[in-house]
Every structure is written in C-alpha cells, then in structure tokens.
Structure 1
C-alpha cells in the first residue's frame, strides 16, 4: 500500500506491483502511471461525461464487471452527476474532472467508458460515434477500408471525422456535433450504417446478428443511444497486452496493410502524443461542431 498526495488530495494506492497484463508483465503501478502522465490529454475527453467503469482488478483473465453507479468507498471529493434512467429513478455516476480523481479511478483498474453526451446536457449528444467491429477473418485492415468510405460520406454531409483504434480489434470514427437528441443521432448513424451495407455488401454489415458478421465489418451505430457508452480515448483495455484506444491519423488508416500496424500499448502512447499532439483535439473544439445532418437515404 502506498499513500501519496496528488494536487492536495490524499490517495491510497494498493498492489502496485501486481501484474495486470500478463503478456507483457505490466503492473498496476505502470497502469496508474499511464493515466497520470497522460492526464493532460485524456482528461478533456472525460470532462463532464458520466463514466462507466469496466473493472478488471485481477487482470483480463479474472473477474470483470461493469460499474455505472458511484462505487462504494468513493472519496467525497470525487464529483458525480445524476443520470436519467428510463423507467427508473435517476442514478449517480462518477465524473473524473481532475488528476486526483483520475488516479483514484485508475487504482480501481478500469476501462473508462463515456456516453456521447455531457452531464450538463443529458441525452443531447455532442458527438457521433461509429464502432467498426471486424468479424474474423476480417481485421482492422478491412475496418480501415470501410472507415475511409464512411469518412467521405460524413464529409458529404458536412461532418469532420476523427479516428482511433478501439484498443481491441477495430476502429472508432467520431464526429463533433452541435448537441442533438441522442435518438436522432442514432437514427442518422443507423442510416449511414445501412447505406454502407447496401453499397459495400461484401465488406459492411449493419445488423447486430453475429451470424451475419464473419469476414465483414459490423458498423455498430447503436452506441449513439443515450444509455450506451464507448471506450474513451487513451483508455487501457482489459486484454492480455496493455492495449490502448489510440487516436491515429488518416494517413495511417490509408496505409494499414497489417493489423499490427494499428496496435498500440501504453508504452507507445507518450511518443505518439509528443509527435502528434492530441489527434482527437478537434472533438473538443466547439467551432468544429456541425448540426446533425438529415437521415441518409439509399442512393437511387
């Protein structure tokens, strides 16, 4: 157990020598360090967003559980927000607004997942996400082909798109929006997914049925729903290796010929930030936000 002070907050960090990611021998201390040293880039993507945590305190091979409510024992100085729950009483979820809160949460060993809206405007999405999930034997290489096609369709509708690895198998495309009802954003995203499936039937699929996915890329539009969340930028994922959901350039997407080219671990992130800055910085710039386009219709 280590007691430390972070920006005036007293924190107790536990089991820092425990191996969390066995493929590389990555310890909990290294995991906490990743979040601490990259906090300046990560925190703006978490700010004001009610968080869900996927906890994996014994590593990816141990128990994993999703936590939405404020965990027991949360310090009183960690901020939280009331979150609407359809059909139920509102709940409260954690807001990670500063470095002490980030280090506290990292000590729980978590993936960070965020909705597409902020606590200040519940269920009004200020970004759109398309999760490209490849079905074996398709890989992130096929995701890259589809991502470029989707980028062009989004551009036709006036939306700038940014891309990151999921930290697992696929890619996430994100677009900044003037806040709009989550249900309307979902409808637009679904229409775009269905257009992709209609025009690229050998590559894309828009239905959730797993039997339809082998060898294709599922365009998951559903994460735009108000109750859904997506892995945050720069979050570690609960995998054997300490893979991170990492922003990438469109040049890297265009040149990807091997899945290993877009697989990044916590060791890669500082150098990438030093070289590129925050490649998702446009998501945080209100001037880049555009109104939600009309629902896409199949081409004649």
Structure 2
C-alpha cells in the first residue's frame, strides 16, 4: 500500500478516513502511524475513562517525533460534528483569545480520529467539565517528579515513596505512573470547593519534602538548583495547566507510554520504562492500575487548613 493511500473504516458507527498508515512516526523503532492508531484503539477501554469530561490539549507530530510538532488546544475546522467541544475562557492566552473551543474525548471514534492526525500526546487538566455541570469540578491533585541529571527515575521513585506517605497521612489515596519520558507522576482523587487549594497544598508538601531531604528534593524551578535532585513540580495543579494522561504515548525515540505503576514496582528501585507493547500486555494482566484516581469513594477532602504551614 502506498504511504499516501487512504482507507475508510467504521468505528462504532462513525465513518473515518485514515491516511498514511505506513508513515513511520518513531524512526528509531520503525513504529508507524497505523501502529499508533492500533495502540490507541486497543488501549481505549482503560484510557477513555481518564479523558472523560476533560478538555484536551494534544501534541501533534505530523512528520514524526524527530520533526516539528505543535500544541493544539482549539478544535480545528475539520473537527467532526460528532466530537464534543466545550467553549472555555482562557485568561492570559498567548494568542490573545478570550475563549477556546476544546475537544472532549468521549468515545473510541474520537480517539481514532485524533490518532490519525498524529496527535501522539494527550494532555488533560486536573478537573472535569461534565455535560450538566455549571462549572469545572476539580477532582485530582498531581505531583510531577522531574529528575535533574544525573538523577533518574530511580531517584523519582524514592521521592514518590516519601510523598506517598505524606499524602496517605492526610487521608489521600495516591497512585504513581511513569511520565513516559524521564520522570514520574503521582495523582490522588480529591474533593475540594476551591480550584486554588490543590496548588497551595501541593506547594506546601513540596517544601516539606525539600526541608526533610535537601540532598534529594527541590521545590523551586531554578535550573541551577536541580542537578542531581528531583523537582517536585507542584505548579501542575494550576487550573490552566495540563499533565500527560495515563496511557498516552510520548514523543520519545521509542513509543514509550505514561504507564501506571504498582507500588511494589516503585519500591523496587529499578529503572521503569514501558513501550506501547509493554503497556498492552500490562493492561491485559493487571487491568487499569490507575482506576483508583476515578474512584469517588477514595476521594480525600482537601481543606484550606491543609494548605497552611504547621
């Protein structure tokens, strides 16, 4: 089949035209666009719940991971009319927009359509906008653990365990995943009435860890502070920011994935990195290891009192 050939497929009753299925998007791995679409199709049962009701930001790589990419927040003109969009304010937009029409992925056809656009990376906020909601609902807190060389994901695991203990002591149920790049992320399901509280609370915990382990942890962004340490990036809880979704591919030399982890894997102290094939096998064996962040019964209450120093 020629690289530019197109094929029309039926995906749950939606007719989609797919193109360039043999175009290699990960040159080092020989991983083609057809394989990207296949991965997102097969991982959809566990991925879709993590995208549900969340405005999506994608990173598109039309010429593969070695080529130029662009972030896309605003629904393009070619967005099918059956894809849900939500119009939301974007104060401080770099493109001087007052609002953006975000895509909200709800079903497999939405995901396949995006994969066909070479939208390799899927990024979501820590809040939802359900169809009947009058305003966004903050439901997650996230900590992005970013190692400064020569630190690696091994050091991230050590910090993740320290952070887990602090969160559990405050009544939260954190889970860990690889970023799919070089770091790790922790998320916990929460209830809170103020969108600003997660950022304040996360900042406080990051500073506590920095005080306890100044040899290992840094809570400030300054690059000169980061070599050999792990940045606990609390700022991802800003309502305007997004974090890579669990099970999203990453634009790395290999088709690595942001992969949910068991805590015993974090405790192992081993280097943790998983490709699309690895993750499909893991899900077949373990199911969705990140399902707990969607569990309403596991949501800890985040209060203003938790954001103040002891």
CA RMSD of aligned residues (A): 1.3
CA distance in 1, matches of 2:308, 2:74: 39
Q: CA shift at 1:296, angstroms?
A: 5.0
- Name the CA distance, whole Å, in 2 between partners of 1:130 and 1:226: 14
The count of aligned residue pairs is: 296
Listed one character per residue, the Cα deviations across residues 122-149 of structure 1 (whole Å, up to 9, x for unaligned) are: 4532000000000000000000000000
After the TM superposition, which residues 51-200 of structure 1 pair with which residues of structure 2 at under 5 Å, given as runs? 51-86=56-91, 89-110=98-119, 111-120=121-130, 122-200=135-213
Mapped pair 1:49 → 2:54: yes
Question: Residue in 1 aligned with 2:25?
Answer: 20
* Contact 1:195–1:297 (CA under 8 A) maintained in structure 2: no
**Greater alpha carbon shift after TM alignment, 289-298 vs 60-69:** 289-298
Within 1, Cα distance between the matches of 2:63 and 2:151? Answer: 30
Give CA-to-partner distance per residue, 1:239-295, whole Å, 9 cap, x none: 1100000001000000023x2xx1100011121011111111111111111111433
CA displacement 1:158-207 (0-9 Å, x = unmatched) = 00100100000010100001143221110000111111111110000000
Separation in 1 of the partners of 2:302 and 2:59?
Answer: 30
What TM-score does the superposition give when structure 1 sets the normalisation length? 0.95
Moved more, 276-285 or 225-234: 276-285
| C-alpha separation in 1, matches of 2:193 and 2:234 | 16
Residue 276 of structure 2 aligns with which residue?
266
Q: Sort the Cα spacing of 1:21 and 1:152 in 2 relative to 1 into closer, same or farther, 3 A.
A: same
Q: Which TM-score applies when normalising by structure 2?
A: 0.92
- Report the Cα distance in structure 2 between the residues aligned to 1:85 and 1:217, rounded to whole angstroms: 31
CA distance in 1 between partners of 2:46 and 2:201 (Å): 29
- Structure 2 unmatched runs, 5+: 1-5
